[in-house]
Structure 1
């Protein structure tokens, strides 16, 4: 082979090699994304002890201050990536939600029921979410105003008289009754009592150490969960016999058929009913407990809420006529108090997801199988979005918050479907609280306790008295 011809082949080979390398570099990133900054702590236990030995908010805030809005840690036996920006929360919960599945400990799944919508994605989740959201939509719950009002009046009357109550525990009882109303309508007393008795046992075991040793709260909860299934099966059987087209949640679940014409099983219905009770009770009760405290601590704000609610009460012939749906939609001062309570308390401090594939976000790797936690509380308390965030200031909601900075009920396909019912409960309870009662908080303790939702220390001990109508 002549030299020029050989050189031509060499040039062609080198050009082909260069073309291959450039194509490969274009197809593959120059470098694998790196893990976010942070510490994984000790082997296996990670930083769990640091998290639970202090206020969780201090733990997360210190991490964010040191590492930024995305950082790694290792808690509860799992490597985690924490996300503390609105953009990141939206990425996980909305725009790329298919890459992050909901994840719960198996111990909690056993108590709530594996068919509850919270544990699922895809077609089944979409179907159940539509059913639950439809039965708890404004159009559906507007007919519950009078019944919720009766429950609120009954609860407040039982607290009055000056005896010390645990506000959070009493609000939980009220929220449970509202949940039963939304799910079953006007349920017979013996069924309601049996459901309440066994649900309370399940509730006590839900956040306990998961062991099958007899006598432990978790073992008792498993037994009570079986009894709940039996009670719900009886209720489902009675509804099926009557063939009623009720529009409560049970009716919606019973009358639903998928594209193949198949109905939900009794176990699927029971799991979703119990899931709704879990979602509705502690969270709503926590917010109402904080509302009572925030109003108590700010006499000027309390007077503003009273003025608004007393004007409504006066238009209802001093309470002789019931509240109407339209009145609950026109309580601007009280509504802003509720929004600010949701921001300040941030009952859902974060949510758990799990990456179903390696995901890259802002140059960082979120490995498949790692837990991902959008930190709602950090976002709600970020001074960039809420100036002077530790100050309780409902007037900040006179202007709508920036998108994705205020997410008290979550975001995306797994956002709380019962948020309208929760706000309706709060409005009705606050109306009767401020127009007919006065109260004082007992003791001078301040602070927050977690169980797991944040509530004032000791559940906010308080005394209530009926106000004189003269």
Structure 2
């Protein structure tokens, strides 16, 4: 009996080994039949990270696509990647076959933003978080926040008068203030400046190499991240013990009834939303002003559209908070097309990250499990196949519907940006008061682009702003 049991055990071991060898053989055959996409991987560990972030992304991505086609491999931020540059490929990864590709960033970025942020998840947890975030950005919520955005726009513009300013830096302050009120509500948060200080430190390390050594940007960023968590935990604790009612995303997350969120989950998502709402909106605003400055007839047309809204109100409340309404922002079609064309032309988000959850076959190539997959929005937006004469700034191209999956400034699928309407709203409100009250001139050279990591005009587009000579 014992010998029989031993024989059975041996046969089981043999079968397991044979099955394992068979799986390895099938994997070997698959890798032999399905090759990796063409491309280069760069230097060990760093790959092509420095090359990507030290030059015009148009050049980096366009050269890759020209040399290797619409799907190619590279290695950036410590990760092997497959980049794709076709609308149908972007749809495949982000929408139709999204279950094969989990949302992800490089590990260093996940640690900075927080591993429990909605950017990095799928399934029920992501659905719950997305629902809560969308509740804070519904039309009704945006309608209520118009006076708050306008108040901050007027204060910002007043502070810019008669001085030379770094447009991008000032737009970052403005967009941070708008993000702050949308998250924490109208009530004063004593820790606001402290949060801003630590967030700025975090931001500086965001695209640094993930070397957690004293003195490095990454190390400083991770220390700032810990402090942000402590501050947010303190605010959450105070809100829980307060009898006052608050608005904003923080309150919405704290009141989640489906499945209560821990303080750490709330903190991760608050930091993530600040990140998503901050630099990107500031970059778009800076580029809008740049493109309007370079195109005098277009600036005149946008100003005329905004002056028409002013004229309908008689101009009597021109400089006062509460002047604009939600309905007014829906009467700005040309200005809205200028924003769309800016999103296409500047392509602030050049790509997004996904990760293959299993080996995926696509267009005859193998995308190995664990590799990052990056739909290249910039390449699609700058393709003459979808946007004729793509290097020309032409808002009229958005007078007709664009082809599906060719305009993706906010991504696609379940992980598309839920705050897109709020971003558009704050841009429209600031542009209304800027064009109707002020004139400006670029100081110094007005050409060139710098990257850090989002593309912005050289030196942040230095401007000299002054009020128009008219009755205020």
CA distance 1:156–1:277, change in 2 (3 Å): same
2:279 maps to which residue? 282
Secondary structure of 1:276's match?
helix
Is the 8 Å Cα contact of residues 257 and 264 (structure 1) preserved in structure 2?
A: no
Count of residues in correspondence between the two structures = 440
1:360 maps to which residue? 361
Shift of 1:216: 3.7
1:134 maps to which residue? 135
Secondary structure of 1:206's match?
coil
2:12 maps to which residue? none
1:146 maps to which residue? 147
Is 1:101 aligned to 2:98, yes or no?
no
Shift of 1:357: 0.7
User: Which deviates more, 410-419 or 85-94?
Assistant: 410-419
Is the 8 Å Cα contact of residues 184 and 247 (structure 2) preserved in structure 1?
A: no
1:206 maps to which residue? 206
Quote the Cα distance in structure 2 between the aligned partners of 1:285 and 1:150: 17
CA distance 1:29–1:119, change in 2 (3 Å): closer
Larger radius of gyration: 1
Quote the Cα distance in structure 1 between the aligned partners of 2:121 and 2:225: 20
Is the 8 Å Cα contact of residues 179 and 277 (structure 1) preserved in structure 2?
A: yes
User: Which deviates more, 362-371 or 352-361?
Assistant: 362-371
Is the 8 Å Cα contact of residues 172 and 282 (structure 2) preserved in structure 1?
A: yes
CA distance 1:231–1:47, change in 2 (3 Å): closer
Is the 8 Å Cα contact of residues 345 and 393 (structure 2) preserved in structure 1?
A: yes
2:15 maps to which residue? none
Unaligned stretches of 5+ residues in structure 2: 1-28
Quote the Cα distance in structure 2 between the aligned partners of 1:337 and 1:396: 10
2:193 maps to which residue? 193
Render the CA deviation track for 1:144-190: whole Å, top value 9, x for unaligned: 001100000100110111x2111000000000000011011113252
- Scaled by the length of structure 1, what TM-score is found? 0.89
Is the 8 Å Cα contact of residues 57 and 350 (structure 2) preserved in structure 1?
A: no
Secondary structure of 2:466's match?
strand
Shift of 1:36: 2.1
Is the 8 Å Cα contact of residues 212 and 219 (structure 1) preserved in structure 2?
A: yes
Secondary structure of 1:388's match?
coil
RMSD between superposed Cα atoms in Å? 2.1
Unaligned stretches of 5+ residues in structure 1: 1-27
- Scaled by the length of structure 2, what TM-score is found? 0.89
Secondary structure of 2:355's match?
strand
1:239 maps to which residue? 239
Is the 8 Å Cα contact of residues 116 and 272 (structure 1) preserved in structure 2?
A: yes
Render the CA deviation track for 1:45-82: whole Å, top value 9, x for unaligned: 54445434532321211121222211222333332211
Shift of 1:243: 4.8
Is 1:255 aligned to 2:255, yes or no?
yes
2:64 maps to which residue? 63
CA distance 1:78–1:216, change in 2 (3 Å): closer
CA distance 1:84–1:256, change in 2 (3 Å): same
Shift of 1:247: 4.1
Quote the Cα distance in structure 2 between the aligned partners of 1:39 and 1:210: 22
Shift of 1:41: 4.2
Quote the Cα distance in structure 1 between the aligned partners of 2:212 and 2:451: 25
Secondary structure of 2:386's match?
coil
Is the 8 Å Cα contact of residues 359 and 366 (structure 2) preserved in structure 1?
A: yes
CA distance 1:222–1:330, change in 2 (3 Å): same
Secondary structure of 1:190's match?
coil
Secondary structure of 1:231's match?
helix
User: Which deviates more, 208-217 or 282-291?
Assistant: 208-217
Quote the Cα distance in structure 2 between the aligned partners of 1:209 and 1:46: 11
User: Which deviates more, 198-207 or 283-292?
Assistant: 198-207
Quote the Cα distance in structure 1 between the aligned partners of 2:52 and 2:465: 36
